[in-house]
Amino acid sequence: MAPESAHLAIELAKPQLSADGCTRAVEAAERALPAWAKLTAKQRSNILCNGTN
């Protein structure tokens, strides 16, 4: 593993949210799932790749 990759892996492994923040993130994801599931694969791809609808 290249040193810069190792550094990135270490940074990504660090907790970024508190327990409360994680709970809020999971709750938001649960609320968003029904609308997300109604999107076509192309629409979801556009959102994930481009940040657009």
pLDDT band for position 51 (cuts 50, 70, 90): low
35 φ/ψ angles, rounded to the nearest 5 degrees: -70, -40
Domain ranges of the chain: 15-50
Tell me the per-residue pLDDT of 4-43, one tens digit each, with 9 for 90 and over: 666 766 777 777 778 888 889 899 999 999 999 999 999 9
Asked if residue 53 has pLDDT above 60, the reply is: no
The predicted structure's pLDDT at residue 42: 93
Start-to-end Cα distance in the chain:
37
Q: Are 43 and 51 in contact (CB under 8 A)?
A: no
Provide the whole-model pTM: 0.56
Q: How far apart are CA 40 and CA 48, in angstroms?
A: 12
Look up tokens 């109604």; give the residue.
38
